[in-house]
Structure 1
Amino acid sequence: MSAFVFSEDLEVEMKDTIKEIPLGELHPFPDHPFGVRDDEAMAQTVESIKEYGVLVPAIARPRENGGYEIIAGHRRKHACEIAGLKTMPVIVRDIDRNTATIVMVDSNLQRENILPSERAKAYKMKLEAIKRQGARTDLTCTQVGHKSNGTKSIQKVADEAGESRTQVQRYIRLNELQPELQHLVDEGKIGMTPAVEISYLKPDEQKMLIETIDSEQATPSFSQAQRMRRLSQEGKLNDDAVLGIMMEQKKPENWDLKLPMEKIRKFFPRSYTPQRMEETIIKLLETWMKKRQRDQQR
């Protein structure tokens, strides 16, 4: 179920404007942060469309230069192309860019297996859209609310995503990483906490780190990232300093444990966010540890 909320009037109006639109007239949302991948989920979507058609219409808005800009439905469009369809059902709504950005982000955050870099860009886009949006009294007010200061805006992003404000801020910091480092975070080779520390390094310092990671085949721990950030703030971070830090052996307590999402997602309801899954796993481990302690005392 989508996280964004429309008023009843808007729902009726949007249902009344469903159109069959040629795929060639549908264009991607500018700077769309979510990748469209030819994975197993896409293959299942293609098979579903071949058998039943597109069950959920996409959402789009008219473009100034003609055609339509997809707000929600990039994966469905790609699946339609693979399935050999020429058109797809689309809800057309003439909404402003800020509202469209918020709807686009909220509709896609319900997907599984979202990469950290995708979530980072999405949170940033939504935050900036909320900040740009003035006080609204129209149909989008129930979803977006009124313009507020940065603290309230980021709290709104966090609440609607089911994340803590701190976690949203951490994700947004990932946008300051060089693409190569973002890719390492997506692959799970660099944890979130060291990635946030690295994001405070200057671009040229990050490039020095990338070269060292390639040469040493090692990624920084949290404490190593902290030291590099501190040296950067002092103006003392150079090639030798980065190499010296990265050549140190990591302590096991600094390692970040990564659990593949595809292996644990099946144990949780689809509505659970990564943060809620983590909290549940911690509680279960605490219960397991207490049981072990009781068994050992018998």
Structure 2
Amino acid sequence: MAINKNSKGLGRGIDAIFSDFESANNDQEVVEELALTDIRPNPYQPRKTFDETALQELADSIRQSGVFQPIIVRKSLNGYEIIAGERRFRASKIAGKETIPAIVREIDEQRMMEIAVLENLQREDLTPLEEAEAYQTLIQKLSLTQAEVSERIGKSRPYIANYLRLLTLPDVTKKYLQTGKLSMAQARTLLSLKNKEEIDTVAEKAISDGMTVRQLEQYVLQLNADKPKTKTKQPVKSAYLTATENALIDKLATKVKVSANKRGAGKIEIKYTSVRDLNRLLDVLNIEID
């Protein structure tokens, strides 16, 4: 398997991971023809989508000339699991092949996961979500911190953190990001919404309106600024006003509100529900209207 040590953005850790893979055509290793039906994809493969056009082109080439470079697999309880070469495996199936050249290697679970993740990160054609999930896999499965992942792959810690934040997006917006309807920059802008429940709705508007990143930033700023005004805190009533209010409610059998300002002046508000109710209140207060 050809490895480009100068792949942009990867730290020295990647060379160590792949050092023993550079001898894929070593005379000491045997290339076997394995049945495609006996082979399973790497369970730690971060890539969820494969370019169908590119796969078809590779399948056409394999149909004409075969597989030049063997895939790397390991023995499992039920056949084999792919360590590297899933595109060749998929394309061979499309080409109608029944077998594929492969090198069988002994490798433990942790190293297999590490290779799957780092090999795909080296290719740098993962979607933003797939890249974020790759970092999350390294953190969870290898018990690494963000700083350790940063050092291991040669990316800055803020870079790693920005990708991991994408995993907090709601599912609908994640789907838009995965399919390319939203860009990484647009997704990061959506994360700055104060009301997280609005993210899916704003994402859909950004897509339907064809918003640029700059336009979306301005729209999000506007939404964040349109916060509901906080209600003015009502002053606490004195015991005297509260008692007076309750006495009037008992006397008039209706809702009454008594308030006062700092100077002692105030007002009494008496609620009535109809003209008949108003006349009842006048009778209770012994007031006659000519």
TM-score, structure 1 as length reference:
0.57
Q: Which runs of 4+ in 1 moved over 6 A?
A: 226-231
Quick one: which amino acid aligns to residue 156 of structure 2? S
Q: Please, what is the CA RMSD of the aligned residues?
A: 3.7
> Post-superposition shift, 1:115?
1.7
The DSSP-based 3-state class of the residue aligned with 2:73 is strand
Question: If you compute each CA radius of gyration, which structure gives the higher value, 1 or 2?
Answer: 2
Quick one: which amino acid aligns to residue 107 of structure 1? E
> How many matched pairs?
210
Question: Does residue 16 of structure 1 match 2:29?
Answer: yes
Quick one: which amino acid aligns to residue 32 of structure 1? Q
The DSSP-based 3-state class of the residue aligned with 2:81 is strand
Which residue of 1 is the match for residue 81 of structure 2?
A: 69
Quick one: which amino acid aligns to residue 216 of structure 2? S
If each structure's strand is expressed as a fraction of its own residues, which one has the higher value? 2
Which residue of 2 is the match for residue 152 of structure 1?
A: 148
Q: What are the equivalent positions in structure 2 for 1:73-222 lying under 5 Å apart?
A: 73-111=85-123, 113-131=125-143, 150-157=146-153, 159=154, 163-196=155-188, 198-199=190-191, 205-206=196-197, 208-214=198-204, 217-218=208-209, 221-222=216-217
Greater shift in the superposed pair: 187-196 or 164-173: 187-196
Mark the runs of 5 or more structure 1 residues left unpaired by the alignment.
133-148, 237-298
Mark the runs of 5 or more structure 2 residues left unpaired by the alignment.
6-13, 229-290
The DSSP-based 3-state class of the residue aligned with 1:95 is coil
Quick one: which amino acid aligns to residue 154 of structure 1? S
Which residue of 1 is the match for residue 263 of structure 2?
A: none
- Kept in 1: contact 2:190–2:203 (CA 8 A): no
Structure 1 CA distance for aligned equivalents of residues 166 and 55 of structure 2: 27
Structure 2 CA distance for aligned equivalents of residues 188 and 102 of structure 1: 27
The DSSP-based 3-state class of the residue aligned with 1:109 is helix
- Kept in 2: contact 1:130–1:153 (CA 8 A): no
TM-score, structure 2 as length reference:
0.58
Identity of counterpart residues, as a percentage? Answer: 28
The DSSP-based 3-state class of the residue aligned with 2:82 is strand
The DSSP-based 3-state class of the residue aligned with 2:143 is helix
Which residue of 2 is the match for residue 40 of structure 1?
A: 53
The DSSP-based 3-state class of the residue aligned with 1:54 is coil
